[in-house]
């Protein structure tokens, strides 16, 4: 996922700060290849616990000027950023999610071609109570802001507010690659969480569920909502200089 993420977001951000949560693959080398001027910092946290992560993100965001946003590697930001250029006053926008799901009847996406051209089966998260259903893997709004913000104490950088911009959105690809490698990447998160965090969340949190429940939630709550999103993808992707979607 990381090569797609880096290749896309170097079109979006003037600068990036990547937090390395003790990766054991070639992530750091990929960052240096795609975005050689971006910062890479090893996390100060011993565990992948949401509140601790948020405090770390806040500290790095205080070193930034103008607009900033914290994204996971499964979250790709698309749309009209030009509208933000003239905003001077401290401002926060809540950004909604298009969730893309592996249709299970086609080839796996390949590097060398933008992911948005290959993963088009999805839905827009318009459930007003999605914030209360995070245990099912539903997506809540993220914050795009031009000041030093503090994230909610509960952790996870999730917001209950509805999206405030219709032409800026996150393309969420956490469910778009469901081969064995993709499933393993999701399930390994819980091995990096502290015992206290796991006890707090229980077995229903999307980062602590079993393989069976993880895939069951996708089948039950996500895939039935999906349809082809090529039209809206093409519209939002043009803002980043992409052309028309190539045939699948």
Which among 25, 32, 36, 21 is positioned nearest to 1, based on CA atoms? 25
65-69, 203-207, 208-212: least confidently modelled range: 203-207
Determine the length of the chain. Answer: 248
Please, are residues 38 and 17 in contact by the beta-carbon 8 Å criterion?
yes
Please, are residues 91 and 166 in contact by the beta-carbon 8 Å criterion?
no
160: which 2 tokens?
């209950």
pTM given for the model? 0.93
Model confidence pLDDT, tens digit, residues 60-91: 999 998 999 999 999 999 999 999 998 999 99
Model confidence pLDDT, tens digit, residues 83-112: 999 899 999 999 999 999 999 877 889 998
**Dist CA 168 CA 79 (whole Å):** 4
**Dist CA 91 CA 98 (whole Å):** 23
User: Pseudo-torsion of CA 167, 170, 176, 181, nearest 10°?
Assistant: 150
Confidence of residue 155 (pLDDT cuts 50, 70, 90): low
Model confidence pLDDT, tens digit, residues 212-235: 999 999 999 999 999 999 999 999
**Dist CA 19 CA 23 (whole Å):** 10
Confidence of residue 43 (pLDDT cuts 50, 70, 90): very high
36-45, 148-157, 158-167, 219-228: least confidently modelled range: 148-157
**Residue 247 confidence (pLDDT):** 42
Q: Domain ranges in the chain? A: 2-240
Confidence of residue 243 (pLDDT cuts 50, 70, 90): low
């Amino acid at each position: 996922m990381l090569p797609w993420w880096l290749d896309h977001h170097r079109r979006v951000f003037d600068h990036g700060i990547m937090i390395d949560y003790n990766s054991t693959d070639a992530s750091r080398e990929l960052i240096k290849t795609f975005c050689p001027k971006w910062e890479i910092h090893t996390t100060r946290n011993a565990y992948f616990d949401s509140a601790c992560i948020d405090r770390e993100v806040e500290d790095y965001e205080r070193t930034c000027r103008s607009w900033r946003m914290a994204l996971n590697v499964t979250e790709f930001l698309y749309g009209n950023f030009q509208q933000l250029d003239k905003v001077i006053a401290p401002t926060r926008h809540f950004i909604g999610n298009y969730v893309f799901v592996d249709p299970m009847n086609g080839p796996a996406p390949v590097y060398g071609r933008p992911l948005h051209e290959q993963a088009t089966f999805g839905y827009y998260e318009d459930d007003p109570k999605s914030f209360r259903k995070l245990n099912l893997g539903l997506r809540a709004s993220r914050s795009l802001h031009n000041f030093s913000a503090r994230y909610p104490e509960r952790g996870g950088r999730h917001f209950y507010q509805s999206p405030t911009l219709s032409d800026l959105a996150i393309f969420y690809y956490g469910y778009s690659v469901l081969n064995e490698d993709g499933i393993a990447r999701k399930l390994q998160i819980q091995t990096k969480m502290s015992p206290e965090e796991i006890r707090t969340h229980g077995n229903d949190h999307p980062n602590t569920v079993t393989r069976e429940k993880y895939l069951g939630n996708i089948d039950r709550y996500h895939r039935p909502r999906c349809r082809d999103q090529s039209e809206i993808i093409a519209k939002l992707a043009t803002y980043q200089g992409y052309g028309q979607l190539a045939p699948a």
